A and B are shown apart, each in its own frame.
Chain A
Amino acid sequence: MREFDYQRAADVAGAVALLGADPDTRFLGGGTNLVDLMKTGVERPARLIDIRELPLDHIEPTPEGGLRIGATVTNGDLAAHPAIRRRYPALAQAVLAGASGQLRNMATVGGNLLQRTRCGYFTDVTKPCNKRVPGSGCPAIEGEHHNHAILGASGHCVAVHPSDMAVALTAFDAVVHFETADGPGESPLASFYLPVGDTPHRETALPPGALITGVTLPPAPVAAVSRYRKVRERASYAFAIGSVAAALDVRDGVVHDARLALGAVASRPWRAVAAEHVLTGAPADAATYAAAADAELAAARPLPHNGYKVDLMRNLVVAVLSELAEEAAR
């Protein structure tokens, strides 16, 4: 780890001003990802701006009837919050499925959105990686990729986004709010993460110098019956190999509204738009769920060693939607 300067920001404007346009400066939140990446040499900032004490640690109702989650709310507090648990249970479940109790008490919502992939080539600076060193190559395509992307990848990068929380936020149409030197801005999470293309090192639409200040959840009655299911290679404390965030509103045996997002299948949390299209208005039964999954996964382009993810995601989607329909019927 190289030596660095450290400053604490007192307020949002001050934090943004401190960062300036310095590409060698990073905001420090919980540090659970950044400090790790600094230890492995993936990140080598010359200066850290500590934003943990900014007054962004609240969860508040919005005038529209949604919730606004401050950027420095910890994952632990987010998952424990009564309003989140009551109105967006899948979000609480997603957060609880991530990392460990200790890490959730440190990690922040803003940082979680910006966490980097856990691809073993990305985190090892002795190996090539287009995301870390543009143009150096992607050894995962020919190498170890059993937990890599089946959707939206490119010949330049097949890494997956590691967040559980962001999958649920994506399902619920969350909007990311940020502050820049020119004032505030926002981006729907659906377009916050950039397509991989030939620029896998460019991950988000966050303008240079911007500080994430919070996330807004629009009101979503459908989210009251929602669920997050995560599959991983041990029962806890591991990143997903596949996950589903789903919400379902069934009326008279017909899907009235549905939300579906997939995790660990792409460089970003994957909103299953095609599947939702199939679901809405269709009979609430296993055939519909399977057709929805197939519609989404038709675009899957698995690599030699991750084809199982197509089956996994299909099965998961059907299972979770079936469970939700049962729950809704109770």
Chain B
Amino acid sequence: MTTVAPGTGTHAPSVGTAHTRVEGRDKVTGAARYAGEVPFAGLAYGWLVLSTVARGRIRALDTDPVLAMPGVLAVLDHRNAPRVDTDYTGLLGTPPDPTCAVFQHDRVPHLGWPVALVVAETSEQAREAAETLVVHYEQEPHDIDFTGGRPDAYPVDGHMPGVTEKGDLDAALVSSAVVVDAEYTTPEEHHNPMEPHAATARWDGGRLEVIDSNQGATWVVGELANLFSLDPASVRVRSEHVGGGFGSKGVRAHQVAAVMAATVLQRPVRVVMTRRQMFSLAGYRSPTAQRVRLGADADGRLRALEHRSVSVTSTVHEFVEPSAGVARVMYDADAHHTANRVVRLDVPTPTWMRAPGEAPGSFALEAALDELAEKCGIDPIELRLRNEPDKGPVSGLPFAGRNLAACFREGARRFGWADRDPRPGLRRDGRWLLGTGTAAASFPSGAAPSTASATAHPDGTFTVRISAADIGTGARTALTLVAADALRVSVERVRVRIGDSDFGPAMIAGGSMGTRSWSWAVTAAAGELRERLALDTDMPPEGITVRSDTTAAIGALTPAERHSFGAQFAEVAVDTATGEVRVRRMLGVFAAGRIVNPLTARNQLRGGMIWGISMALHEEAVRDRASGGHVGADLAGYHVATHADVPRVEADWIDDADPADPVGIKGIGEIGIVGAAAAVANAVWHATGVRHRGLPIRPDRVLSAAAGAPDA
């Protein structure tokens, strides 16, 4: 027996201090292994075959010639693939998207639907065989036409009510001195994490093991266990390093197909999506068509607010992009109507993508506020401050902290907003017209039940285990700091292990809830361990382990409007002769809870803002009406911002610790993108005097607007 002194009360806190990533050395040396990079003896390679028609039935698959090709081991399709069960509700409270339940029937509900998996000894053989496979379809007419005026759009509740209504909207609009009535559109957008979805599945001693790139091992275990009717304890999912997710990395066709092939072949099988396949299989953000009507008194105080959004979903699964939800948090009015509706088309099912709802919704709402400010002749910041609600506009619940005004004050000071001439089209630098814009941001702050364990070792070090996922958020490092503080030891004595479902159930990296949820569980386990060690310092050789489960504590949170807030500022340059728009600088000031690691948090907040630049100026997936599929489904056809598009971007925060959270965290994964595109679009108006209500603000749209076409 050895004895170990627990941390003393004099320990300096680690939370709040800048820390380089604990896995940083592995990442800069290439030693960090992602899902498709863990070697296995006897590994076979699976390649997905996707439909080339947008609607119909599979009539036949010519598998014989493919099976005769060199190295080909198997072709799985709806005739021979193992059956799966989709009649369940998953971790996030939704039934599975049937897109992941591959090869169960002959129907094709969209172009890019998985119709077969070809497995071969090498990836080159698998690819060629998959591309050689001839599939015969009975094609049916498809409908992919998305417009805001579709009469078949219907309200959907999703994670929030589809429709909220209070007050007499028409009456309030009629009695308003100033009215804004505008339609805004955002296109189909894709997550495009740098690491394509990849999974390797194998059976090992009666247990299914999947090395996977995902946002939550617990989540994927649950889905796979349900789909394949397995005891969850007999499934293990590991994802030590994840090359980005942004909402796209849950259970998808690749894991399910890999498990099927590993089961049939009884050897390890890896399935990796190609970049092009990701456009059909990885989910995406639905296009939106939004109508915002604002009615205000001459002094800008809102009397009427209507925000209606239409998005698409597939014919096989209902997913709603709840863009109107942000209005239920941001602004109040006597008459306040919001609606999220969907239209079902022959397209893949959309999914969560960084700030689902808030990202496109804040573009429409915050651009409309800017239009209202212009019409009222009121500074855009002042307009927002005049409309700060004192309780949830729809819920009536109190705000558990709403530091938006402080964000605007600090941001305006640092950005130099006070000197701004509100008139558009006046500033020039050579061929560039210059303008500045601002927008407000909010994103819900939540936590979900998680479990963790903390182990004290005889050598004085500690190991914390939690099935968290670090998809680039810095969660592994943040949890190390949190654990060190709970144990009152220095971070060097703490090792945090994540990305393994065997560590017990935990929340996913999603909804800006990962680090908060996991920190809660880690704090509980580590804190209890510290107390145990303080009482009894006799240490058995195997160490002492304490487990935590936050289900009860999180269930006891009182209802309130819990959100992060932020103020976004952008300066842009527009060349109206060429249509080029460049962002020159950006500043975001956030009230987003206690910041665990300033180094990684600043990076993540800036990343969200850069997503906003990309959304405002670049991103748009184009569908071809004739085929129903994409045109240019790759990173040359779908532009995301690159280095040259990204100027000096600053992110900072004000003190905003959440008293309801043991660490004070609110979550910062998504707030950075909210309002960012609106700030850019508002700045484009300020530069040029032209409102762009459709994203992205591409050169062709700037030119068409300059040529006198109606507002793009």
Contact = CB atoms under 8 A, between A and B. Distances in A.
Touching chains A and B, CB distance < 8 Å: yes
Interface of A: 1-3, 41, 118, 120-121, 123-124, 126-127, 139, 142-144, 146, 231-239, 241-242, 305-309, 311-312, 315-316, 318-319
A234 B641 contact: yes
B38 interface: no
Interface stretch (B302-310, B371-379, B624-632): B624-632
Contacts of A142: 625-626
Contacts of B629: 124, 126-127
Contacts of B644: 234-237
Contacts of B631: 120-121, 124, 127, 143-144
A258 B127 CA distance: 51
Contacts of A41: 131
A124 B617 CA distance: 25
Given A1-B131, A234-B642, 20 more contacts: A1-B127, A120-B632, A124-B629, A127-B627, A127-B631, A142-B625, A142-B626, A143-B626, A144-B622, A233-B699, A234-B618, A234-B645, A235-B645, A236-B645, A241-B700, A305-B700, A309-B700, A312-B699, A315-B578, A319-B578
A241 B699 contact: yes
Interface in B23-58: 52
Interface string B544-579: 000000000000000000000000000000000111
Interface size band for B: 35 or more
- Among B52, B627, B629, max chain A CB count under 10 A is at B627
B86 interface: no
B580 interface: yes
Nearest to A236: B644
Interface stretch (B8-16, B359-367, B505-513, B701-709): B701-709
Given A1-B128, A120-B632, A319-B431, A308 B704 contact: yes
A120 B700 CA distance: 18
Contact of A139 (B627, B642, B645, B704): B627
Given A237-B642, A311-B706, A319 B624 contact: no
B636 interface: yes
Contact of A308 (B580, B582, B618, B707): B707
B158 interface: no
A127 B624 contact: yes
B648 interface: no
B165 interface: no
A127 to B, nearest CB: 6
Interface string B414-442: 00000000000000000100000000000
Given A308-B704, A312-B579, A319-B431, A1 B124 contact: yes
Nearest to B640: A234
B391 interface: no
Interface in B609-663: 617-618, 622, 624-627, 629-633, 636-637, 639, 641-645
B202 interface: no
Given A308-B700, A311-B706, A235 B582 contact: yes
9 contacts: A1-B128, A120-B622, A126-B627, A127-B627, A143-B626, A144-B622, A311-B707, A315-B577, A316-B578
8 interchain residue pairs of minimum CB distance = A120-B631, A236-B644, A235-B644, A120-B632, A315-B577, A308-B703, A144-B631, A126-B52
A231 B624 contact: no
A147 to B, nearest CB: 8
B578 A231 contact: yes
A155 B327 CA distance: 48
Nearest to B632: A120
Contacts of B643: 236
A1 B644 CA distance: 34
B639 A238 contact: yes
B301 interface: no
B618 A233 contact: yes
A312 B698 contact: no
Given A144-B622, A235-B642, A236-B642, A118 B636 contact: yes
Contacts of B52: 126
Q: Is the interface of A mostly helix, strand, loop or mixed?
A: loop
A238 B638 CA distance: 10
Contacts of B431: 319
Nearest to B624: A143
Given A308-B700, A311-B707, A315-B577, A238 B624 contact: no
Nearest to B707: A311
B641 to A, nearest CB: 7
B643 to A, nearest CB: 7
Nearest to B701: A308
A14 B627 CA distance: 45
A319 to B, nearest CB: 6
A233 B698 contact: yes
B618 A312 contact: no
Contact of B625 (A2, A143, A146, A237): A143
Contacts of B630: 120
Contacts of A307: 704
A118 B636 CA distance: 9
Nearest to A238: B639
A139 B627 CA distance: 9
B333 to A, nearest CB: 38
A1 B579 CA distance: 39
A118 B131 CA distance: 21
B433 to A, nearest CB: 14
Interface in B123-152: 124, 127-128, 131
B236 to A, nearest CB: 34
Contacts of A319: 431, 577-578
Contacts of A311: 703, 706-707
Nearest to A139: B626
A286 B150 CA distance: 48
**Chain B CB within 10 Å — which of A124, A139, A306, A309 has the most?**
A124
Contacts of B128: 1-3
Contacts of A1: 124, 127-128, 131
Nearest to B577: A315
Contacts of A231: 578-580, 699
Contacts of A124: 629, 631, 633
A122 to B, nearest CB: 10
A131 to B, nearest CB: 15
Most A-side CB within 10 Å, residue of B124, B625, B643, B700: B700
A142 B627 CA distance: 12
Contacts of B580: 231, 235
A47 to B, nearest CB: 16
B637 A120 contact: yes
Contacts of A312: 578-579, 699-700, 703
A321 B562 CA distance: 57
A141 to B, nearest CB: 11
A49 to B, nearest CB: 20
Interface in B441-459: none
A88 to B, nearest CB: 23
A2 B124 CA distance: 9
Contacts of B124: 1
A16 to B, nearest CB: 29
A161 B256 CA distance: 41
A202 B593 CA distance: 62
Looking at A234, A237, A307, A316, the one whose CB has the most chain B CB atoms below 10 A away is: A234
Contacts of A318: 577
Nearest to A145: B631
A41 B128 CA distance: 9
A2 B131 CA distance: 9
A146 B187 CA distance: 15
A235 B127 CA distance: 34
Nearest to B622: A144
B639 A234 contact: yes
B642 A308 contact: no
B651 to A, nearest CB: 21
A318 B582 CA distance: 21
A139 B700 contact: no
A127 B633 CA distance: 13
